[in-house]
Amino acid sequence: MSLVALILSLGFAALVALGLPFAFALALAVIASLYASGLDPMLLPQTLVAGTQSFSLLVIPFFMLAGEVMAAGDLSRRLVNVADVFVRHLPGGLGLVTIIAALVFAAVSGSAPATTAAIGTVMIPAMAERGYSRAYATALAVSAGVLAPLIPPSIAFVIWGVIAEQSIAKLFLSGVMPGLLMAAGMVALVLWQARRGDIPRRPRASVAEVGQALREGVWVLLAPVIVLGGIYGGLFTPTESAVVACLYVLAIALFVQRSLHWRTLGAVISRAMATTALVLAIVGFSQGFGILVAQEQLAPALTRWLAGHVHDKWVMLALLNLGFFVLAAVMDEVAIMVILGPMLIAIARQYGVDPIHFGSMIVTNVAIGMAAPPIGYCLFVGMAIARLKLADVARSIMPFVAMMLLVLFLVTYVPMFSLWLLR
């Protein structure tokens, strides 16, 4: 192994283990490799800037902003109210409300942390108030939040589409069935929990209550129709749909429902841009890292080695899933996607895996990684809302993670789940 290869693998891993943020660990590994290989130091700024010059990646700040506006502008509460009047009388009613509201929210925002924060802020206290354990309520809100990477539009699919050079619109469609399957699994778990627990059922909503919830929520319910209808009706590109989503929810919150004040808009934009920066810092600094990895021929070498040792495609996919799950326990999922992306794509190509099916499998892994202990990003969002520690929530979220792994199994071994809507 060359010195550069050592820096990019062991050096980078050591920096991450020591606690340097992923983005700066990538940058430092690139800097050290540039000196070790005698390449021009300008590669770092050049690739960093180039990494952000992607029209597809422009969706990220806009979907983040749409999510923040919906949360700050009270639109997520109205969404919850609509779901509430339809399913609250069923066993596990509030749990079902959480899942449905997250599905609709995800169809506008595309961001798992934004969905977890928006829905969790409303639903975790509401569920705790009605007798659900706080840990269970948090686990459910986190699990519902990670539906966002699978339900279109999805930021994770956009990032994967850019890395894998695949159609983002097709990747979006490949996530629908896995996302709905995961949501169905959550519904089953909620119903099972409701039968086991002693949570009182609430009365059915009156016609007047349904009418009021629909009147208050009609605008926000139209948002996913506009976003998804725009993309698949051929009106907008995914990036333009994110812009339209943003402008739409801003108009609703500022002018129609007047639930967002101009004075708070600055802070809302700052929050959206801060979250965007977290993702794009990793994406940006990984560009130079990726070029050096390619130069070292690490991906082809590993792919050849794997091809020599693992002959069955399905065994290879199982190993990739296992590897992703283990890595996600210590590493950010976006970092895994962008750093290992070229290698993963080379492996998928070698074994003849359909690239869209493979994208769906990767993003299902991303969704699971965001919810799974010990460092699932959405798990931390949920814990912050509920003011609970990891140990409190870890046990409650395990059944949900197990169910998601079952969905991953189906997504991996039944390609039809991902490709059905593309036929």
Partner 1 sequence: MKAALAAAVAAVAAANTWLVRLLALLMLGVLGWQVFMRSALSAPPSWSEELALLAFTWAVLLAVAGGVRDGIHVRMDLLLDRLPAAARALMERGLLLATAFVGGFLAWAGARYAAESVGTTSAATAYPMSLLYASAVVCGALILLFALERLLLGAPDTRA
Positions that interact with partner 1 (CB under 8 A): 15-24, 27-28, 31, 41-42, 44-46, 48-49, 52-55, 57-58, 61-62, 65, 235-236, 239-240, 243-244, 246-247, 266, 269-270, 272-274, 276-278, 280-282, 284, 330-332, 335, 374-375, 377
In the complex, minimum distance from the CB of residue 19 to partner 1, in angstroms, rounded to a whole number: 4
In the complex, minimum distance from the CB of residue 288 to partner 1, in angstroms, rounded to a whole number: 11
Residue 182 one-letter amino acid: M
Residues 364, 66, 62, 222: what is their CA dihedral angle, to the nearest 10 degrees?
80
Residue 110 burial by Cβ neighbours in a 10 Å radius (0-12, 13-18, 19+)? buried
Distance, in Å, from the CA atom of 380 to the CA atom of 294, rounded to the nearest integer, reads 34
Residue 231 burial by Cβ neighbours in a 10 Å radius (0-12, 13-18, 19+)? buried
Assess contact for 386 and 145: CB atoms under 8 A.
no
Q: Give buried/exposed letters for 290-308 (b at 16+ CB in 10 A, else e).
A: bbbbeebebbeeebeebee
| Cα 140 from chain centre | 15
In the complex, minimum distance from the CB of residue 265 to partner 1, in angstroms, rounded to a whole number: 8
In the complex, minimum distance from the CB of residue 29 to partner 1, in angstroms, rounded to a whole number: 10
Residue of 402, 396, 287 whose CA lies nearest to 47: 287
- Select 13 or 421, whichever has its Cβ closest to partner 1: 13
Distance, in Å, from the CA atom of 87 to the CA atom of 82, rounded to the nearest integer, reads 9
- Select 44 or 194, whichever has its Cβ closest to partner 1: 44
Residue of 362, 364, 315 whose CA lies nearest to 342: 362
- Dig out the tokens for 117 from the structure: 């924060």
Distance, in Å, from the CA atom of 158 to the CA atom of 166, rounded to the nearest integer, reads 9
Q: What share of the chain is helix, strand, coil (3-state, %, to 5)?
A: 80, 0, 20
Distances (CA, A) of 406 to 68, 324, 387, 402: 31, 15, 29, 6
Distance, in Å, from the CA atom of 320 to the CA atom of 326, rounded to the nearest integer, reads 10
- Select 3 or 267, whichever has its Cβ closest to partner 1: 267
Distance, in Å, from the CA atom of 136 to the CA atom of 143, rounded to the nearest integer, reads 10
In the complex, minimum distance from the CB of residue 263 to partner 1, in angstroms, rounded to a whole number: 13
- Select 157 or 248, whichever has its Cβ closest to partner 1: 248
- Select 235 or 315, whichever has its Cβ closest to partner 1: 235
- Select 230 or 415, whichever has its Cβ closest to partner 1: 230
In the complex, minimum distance from the CB of residue 61 to partner 1, in angstroms, rounded to a whole number: 6
Assess contact for 202 and 131: CB atoms under 8 A.
no
- Select 46 or 295, whichever has its Cβ closest to partner 1: 46
Residue of 75, 79, 63 whose CA lies nearest to 258: 75
- Select 169 or 331, whichever has its Cβ closest to partner 1: 331
- Select 74 or 240, whichever has its Cβ closest to partner 1: 240
In the complex, minimum distance from the CB of residue 277 to partner 1, in angstroms, rounded to a whole number: 4
In the complex, minimum distance from the CB of residue 122 to partner 1, in angstroms, rounded to a whole number: 23
In the complex, minimum distance from the CB of residue 60 to partner 1, in angstroms, rounded to a whole number: 9
- Select 200 or 234, whichever has its Cβ closest to partner 1: 234
In the complex, minimum distance from the CB of residue 167 to partner 1, in angstroms, rounded to a whole number: 19
